[in-house]
Amino acid sequence: MRTKPSKRLLELTINGETYELAVEPQETLSEVLRNRIGLTGVKEGCGTGECGSCTVLVEGEPVLGCLLLAVECERKRVETIEGQAEEGVLTPVQQAFLEKGAVQCGFCTPGMVLASTALLKRRPNPSEEEIQEALEGHLCRCTGYNKIMEAVLHAASSAADKR
Amino acid sequence: MGDLEYVGKRILRKDGPEKVTGQAVYTVDLQLKNMLVGRILRSPHAHARIVRIDTTRARQVPGVKAVITGKDTLGVKHGFVETPRYPADQYPLAMDKVRFIGEEVAAVAATDVYAADEALRLIEVEYEPLPAVFDPEEAMKPDAPEIHPTHPKVKEPVMNIGGKTTSEWGDIEAGFKEADYVREDRFESHLRTHGYLESQATVASFEPDGKLNVWTSSQGPFLKRAKLAKTLGLPFSSVRVLKTYVGGAFGGKVDLFSHEFCAALLSMKAARPVKIVATREEVFTAFKHGQPLIVTVKTGVKKDGTLVAQQYRVINNPGAYRGSGVVVIFLAWGFAMPPYRIPNFKYEGYSVFTNNPVRTAQRGHGAPQLRFAVESQLDMIAEELGLDPIEIRLKNARESGEQLPNGDNVHNCGLKDCITEIARHTDFHHARGGRGENSSQRYKKGIGIGVSSYFGGSLIYPNSSSVIVKMNDDGSVTLLTGALDIGQGAETIHSQIVAEELKIPMDEIQVIAADTETTPVDIGSWISGNAYVCGNATRVAAGNVRKQLLELASQQLEASIDDLVLKDKKVYVAGSPSKALTYGELVALSIQTRRGDPIIGEGHWRTMRDEPTHPSLATTKGRWTENYAFDAQTAEVEVDTETGKVRLLRAVTAHDCGFPINPLLVEGQIDGQVSMALGHAFMEEIMMEEGRTLNPNWLDYRMPCIRNIAPSEHIDVITEQYTVGQPYRTKEVGEGYVSAILAAIANAIYDAVGVRLFSTPFTPEKILRGLSIYS
Amino acid sequence: MYLPRFAFEKPTSLKEASSLLTEKAVKSTLLAGGTDLLPRMKYGVADPERLISLKGLGVSAPKVLPEGDLILDGASTLASVALSPEVAENAPLLAAAAGRVATREIRNVATLAGNLCQDTRCLYFNQRHTFQFVEPCFKRGGDFCYFIPKGKKCWAVYMSDTAPALICLGAKIQVEGDGAGALLDLEALYSGDSLHPLTIGSDTIISGIRVPPTGGTRGWAFSKLTLREGMEFGALNIAVLLETGKDPGTCTRARIAVGAVSPAPVRALKSEGLLVGGPFSPALLAEAARQVAEEVTVIPHHGYSKWYLTRALEVEALNALTRAVNQLTGGR
């Protein structure tokens, strides 16, 4: 068994807050977020990059927390699902997922919401093809994706109505 | 159902906000103080005697706090089915033999996963390999290696029979003689899995006072408690299974799993909480998948399409222990007999042990496999006789009030309406053959139909549901139910029922659920009975509260109960809204005038309340259910004749669902099942070789992604209704729609390109091979 | 699943990275995006003592030299390659291929050089071996193959999507190692040996990819055959690049590269030969597609049979060739 490598002090910026942690190199971003900081909204469905449940935003881009080392995320802006709603007010994407019935067991939901949020930021009015491209890495076994697609389209159009 | 405010409405799910903000806590998210990590050692042999296990070196690894093997257990077996005929047959940790690759042999709890896995590596196990067999038909042969002795009630010379189901009525030989046309076909459904996004996980904490607290990803805590208590030798009162959110289950988290037992026993030994989380790979290799079925069906019809005789031989491959194998051979019978009238019928089903991981229920539990066979064959028969698929189904479909051969009654049956409605809605007859456009196209279209039936609730432990509705001093309500929300929306629909009975807003109903200590028993979310059984229990409990409110108000307001109206947490006299009392006032009144009694209502319900017990799994005798759901589904497909790839263009579900308690949730169930059937049809297959899984990951076991969305429409055929204060029969919607659609897809492919498929999945290769026969 | 323990360095220059990598005392591996390496480490089929991260090095944006060569930093993410205007303009075939790799989340961190250097894959290899397939096969240092039990070699296949595209484009790679740098043809990177698919050592770094400029007009196509799209490796993939001179109907250069069906990307040389010189016609394309399926020996893999892959290859080849020709001739 390998000996424990030395921990290094790491400064992570998560949902706008700064955390200083002693972290081993092999700890993934998901593990640190979930186990060290307690942000269990970051799910892990497989750990090998195949399901999208662990999606978080790093510098606004959706990436897989299970395949990123925490030590590589220093000084990068990390956002999880817990950082989306502000003071209890749900974002348009979160609200749309609720209203359209796009949530069943909820396990894929954080990843879906974050990836959809990132999509709408760069493409406020996406086509169905663009939504598929953004979410094709996210497995959902409950909804069949129909209502998820509706939710994202609805979030896009209701944001458009507000503009 | 005109003046209902909550039931039948598209109410947003109560747990939605928690899920959408990441606040929902699943078992895998739990962190207890001083918690240890548990890991399991698994057998590399498909069949072997365990000669010796030495855990000495493992125990010496720094950080290791407990190591267990079969010898540390009480040697108490468990099983999905535990009846006198089919007693429990699996040890939670192997004792003297292992019978599948991945079988649990030992477990370790340590302070971190590295220490735990190091300890696993240092456990020395000496095996004496034995011959193994993996195919059920091979395993039945007289010279097959014996995995378990054949069931004593099976007298014919076949090996490895875990169970047998037989059923017969009429005179099958006479039936076939009477038929104008007889054909026999064999269909095979392959191994597939649930694919729940939340892996299997358990946290067990044995407290100093002797209480075992368990959180586990499941489909109902009461069954888990019973099996844990039994295998651990603890009284039920010492075992508490608490609620966590569940990230999907679909039949794969029902009965006892080794890791649950191990987490508990390790915690007892280490005196610290233990968490065991299965890796996704472990879930694919060693956990319980669905049941592959071989269905041979021989059918005789008159030339006008009337069914005269049908004979089945079903062979199941449940793996190395009985699992739910003996249930699925019963259910395959159960899914064969409701939709159509079959005057002469014979059924024989075998559940055959093989050296594969144990299999369990998967959404539909035999219906997809069975309906795929029957509905495909029915189309072949129709074609032979020059009848059309709609006509032949209508000719044989059951109607309301029909008595079934097993003594059940279908009650309100909307099957014929489902068939005619769906035919009209899809313009079925014109849609056939790609609307005449197919001939020289690369892409050919087709439409197919399938019919199925499902049951809502049956008598299998824990059997019944109880609910308590407590009124709080301010007139809001707390609902205590053992029902577990596994994503289907249980807590929401029960709140809707309470809201309707008591005219209380949804957000004034707090739900406490699925805790064996604090909530009353529930049958579990795996027997398709949540809406019907637990829902009626909720109704009774809420009705009980309503009765108390009305009685108190009647006295106080000096009005007859018939003149009182409930609305907005108030009771008032009809026509004189100022003569009112709020619920809060009524609670206070109760305490004042009823010697301190607050307002609490309890309700209990069970399906078939006058039946003593479940039907015989072996003979099918006895009442099965009082709640039959029916549906017809169509699939419109496009086949690329050059690549063999098939796209599902449109799925329509016409369902006799009784009535939907929450149409938004029902739609979600339909969409999800169409997607699951799509996966079953086109892309999902667990590939195994000599007991080992080749594709234990989501890269190579392909579940549908958002690229594979199938437009899913539905037609509600309403055959029941909800009336406040009355028992209701709403049918099930959680498992019934994965079956007919599978057959519809097979039939649609045939309609498009003339390729008849007899086994799932319908891969591009199978279609190309089918096409190449004609070219 | 969790990662094994390892030491970790994050150099800030290519020179420093190279020198750490070549240190003999410690078994080091480069960590670029990690989307190929980290899953393999979780499966226990890669076990470096130390990871050398490339994330400390800056990543240069794509640039086009005055001569017309497109220069890409090896550490460019696949997302940036797929979305770059320079790549879209100068090597759209590469943009298309890069955009088909995995999913958006993966492409946001996976690197181009990493994609080119991915290990070969096999169902029996890419999983943990604690209780399944415990005895090591050839690829794990043993002496037999699970897939072909009577076989005498490893049959793992190489599945990169960007490699066939870059090979068609005639790309070269800049390789750094042991102080000296070299510019190699990308095709020369691949050994054809499932066990050691790359001809460069694990102590070298691909720092850049250079795509030469176009001669004439180009028509191209990239196809990846999957069962459902999404997070999926191809059953096969094929890249086609056709060049014409002044006369759009006459092909001056043809490149066809096929991936996922052998231990290295394979060029269909005879098929290329058929296309050069002749005017494009449906009959010629059909013949060329047939030739691709004939000359490329497909290895069955990941549950796909040879019967199926061979037929599928012909269909995909014809499809790709037709699309490429349509680009050149405007569909005429």
| Three-state secondary structure of A60-126 | CEEEEHHHCEHHHHCCCEEECHHHCCECCECCHHHHHHHHCCCCCCCCCHHHHHHHHHHHHHHCCCC
Task: With beta carbons under 8 A apart, name residues in chain C contacting A46.
Answer: 1
Of B741, B769, B590, B618, the residue nearest B680 (C-alpha): B741
Same domain for C161 and C236, yes or no, is no
Look at C231 and B698 and tell me if their CB atoms are within 8 Å.
Answer: yes
Q: Mutate which of C5, C119, C227 to disrupt the B interface (most B C-beta within 10 Å)? A: C227
* Binary contact (B697, C126; C-beta < 8 A): yes
Q: pLDDT at position B2, please? A: 59
Domains of chain B: 16-23+460-606 (3.30.365.10), 31-130+196-249+253-286 (3.90.1170.50), 293-458+614-774 (3.30.365.10)
Delimit the CATH 1.10.150.120 region(s) of chain A: 92-162
Q: Which residues of chain A does C103 touch, with a Cβ-Cβ cutoff of 8 Å?
A: 52, 136-137
Considering only CB atoms, A48 lies closest to which of C7, C31, C42, namely: C42
C111 assigned to some structural domain: yes
Please answer whether residues C186 and C172 qualify as being in contact, where contact means their C-beta atoms are separated by less than 8 angstroms. Answer: yes
C227 and C199 belong to one structural domain = no
Quote the minimal CA–CA distance from C1 to chain A in Å. 5
Would you state the pLDDT for residue A2? Answer: 65
Res C27: pLDDT: 92
Same domain, yes or no, for C227 and C207? no
Distance from CA of A161 to the nearest CA of B (A): 22
**Residue in the structure block whose two tokens are 């609620």:** B243
The number of folded domains in chain C is 2
- Which band of pLDDT confidence, cut at 50, 70 and 90, is reported for residue A163? low
- The answer on C241 and C181 residing in a single domain is no
Dump pLDDT digits (tens) for B469-482: 999 999 999 999 99
* Contact between B675 and A144 using a beta-carbon 8 Å cutoff: yes
User: Hey, what CATH topology would domain A8-83 get?
Assistant: Ubiquitin-like (UB roll) (3.10.20)
Among candidate residues C74, C80, C76, the one with its CA nearest the CA of residue C104: C80
C230 vs A3, A55, A136: nearest CB: A136
Rounded CA separation B291/B701 (Å):
16
Decide if A75 touches C, using CB distance below 8 A. Answer: no
Q: Residue C293 domain-assigned?
A: yes
Best of A24, A68, A69 to substitute, by most chain C Cβ atoms within 10 angstroms, is A69
Point out the residues of chain C with pLDDT beneath 70.
178-180, 331-332
When CB atoms are compared, the residue of C5, C42, C230 closest to A4 is C5
Q: In the prediction, which pLDDT does B437 show? A: 78
Cβ-defined contact of C230 to B706 (cutoff 8 Å): yes
Q: Which residue of A has its CA nearest to B674?
A: A144
CB contact under 8 A, C39 and A49: yes
**Chain C: nearest CA to B676, how far in angstroms?**
14
Q: Inter-chain contact A101–B195, Cβ cutoff 8 Å? A: no
At A23 the pLDDT is: 96
Pinpoint the residues of chain A covered by CATH 3.10.20.30: 8-83
- What is the residue range of C226's domain? 217-329
Joined together, the tokens standing for residue A25 give 């190199």
Which one of C211, C239, C257 terminates a domain?
Answer: C211
Give the residue on A whose Cα is nearest the Cα of C126. Answer: A48
In a domain, C238, yes or no: yes
- Is some CB atom of chain A closer than 8 A to the CB atom of B63? no
Q: Which residues of A touch C2 (CB under 8 A)?
A: 26, 28, 31, 47
Per-residue burial over B248-262, b if 16 or more Cβ lie within 10 Å, else e, is: bbbbbbbbbbbbbbb
Query: In this structure, are residues B667 and B476 in contact, taking their beta carbons and an 8 Å threshold?
Result: no
Q: What is the pTM of this model?
A: 0.97
Phi, psi of A87 (to 5 degrees): 50, 45
Q: Extract the tokens encoding A22.
A: 């002693």
At the fourth CATH level, which superfamily is domain A92-162?
Answer: [2Fe-2S]-binding domain (1.10.150.120)
Report yes or no on C138 lying in a domain.
Answer: no
Q: What 8-state DSSP symbol labels residue B24?
A: P
Sheet of C28-31: strand order equals C7-9, C50-53, C28-31
Cβ–Cβ of A67/C39 closer than 8 Å?
A: yes
pLDDT tens column, B261-291: 999 999 999 999 999 999 999 999 999 999 9
CB-based contact B356:B691 (threshold 8 Å)? yes
How close B572 comes to chain C (CA, Å)? 59
Residues A109/A112/A114/A118 CA torsion (nearest 10 deg): -160
Helices (H), B103-179: 113-122, 136-140, 172-178
Please tell me the distance in Å from B337's CA to the nearest CA on chain C. 35
DSSP letter for C63, please: E
In this complex, the residue of C2, C131, C316 whose CB is nearest that of residue B42 is C131
**Has residue C132 been placed in a domain?**
no
B646: closest CA of chain C, how far (Å): 10
Q: Is C149 within the bounds of a domain?
A: no
Q: What rounded mean pLDDT belongs to chain A?
A: 95
- What CATH number is given to the structural domain containing C198? 3.30.465.10
Q: Are residues C186 and C252 in the same domain?
A: no
Query: For residue C311, what is the nearest residue in chain B, using CA coordinates?
Result: B643
CB contact under 8 A, B765 and C305: yes
Mutation for C interface: B442, B699, B707, B772, most C CBs within 10 A: B699
Q: What is the ipTM of this complex?
A: 0.97
For residue C252, the domain's CATH number is 3.30.390.50
Q: Do A139 and B197 touch (CB under 8 A)?
A: yes
A4 to chain C: which residues are within 8 Å by CB? 5
Low-confidence ranges of chain B (pLDDT < 70): 1-2, 439, 774-775
Instruction: Judge: B707–C228 Cβ closer than 8 Å, yes or no.
Output: yes
Contact (CB<8Å) C1/B279: yes
Query: Does any domain span residue C247?
Result: yes
Answer yes or no: do C226 and C207 share one domain: no
CA nearest C80 in A: which residue?
A61
Residue B235, preceding peptide bond in cis (omega within 30° of 0): no
How would you list the strands of the sheet with A55-58, edge to edge? Answer: A17-23, A8-14, A77-79, A55-58, A61-64
Nearest-angstrom CA–CA distance, B462 and B218: 14
- Could you tell me how many CB contacts below 8 A there are between chain A and chain B? 176
CB distance A98–B673 less than 8 Å?
no
Q: How distant is the Cα of B351 from the closest Cα of chain A, in angstroms?
A: 28
Residues of chain A positioned with their CB less than 8 A from the CB of C51: 25, 69
Distance from CA of B535 to the nearest CA of A (A): 19
Residue of B682, B705, B709, B775 to mutate for C, most C C-beta atoms under 10 A: B705
Minimum Cα–Cα distance from B492: chain A residue: A104
Give the tokens for residue C231: 């997070």
Together in a domain, C274 and C223: yes
C202 and C85 both lie in a single domain: yes
Tell me which DSSP letter residue B516 carries. Answer: T
Show which subunits contact B, needing at least 3 CB pairs below 8 angstroms: A, C
Cα B755 from Cα B743, distance rounded (Å): 14
Chains that touch C (3 or more CB pairs under 8 A): A, B
Tokens for B189?
């459904």
Ordered alpha helix ranges (H), B271-414: 280-286, 325-336, 367-385, 389-396
Inter-chain CB proximity A136 and B705 less than 8 Å: yes
The type of residue at C128 is R
Do C173 and C275 sit in the same domain of this protein? no
Q: Same structural domain for residues C177 and C93?
A: yes
Interchain proximity B672–A98, CB inside 8 Å = no
CA distance C326 to chain B (A): 19
Q: Which residue among A43, A104, A146 sits closest to B488, beta carbon to beta carbon?
A: A104
State the residue for tokens 């009336």.
B723
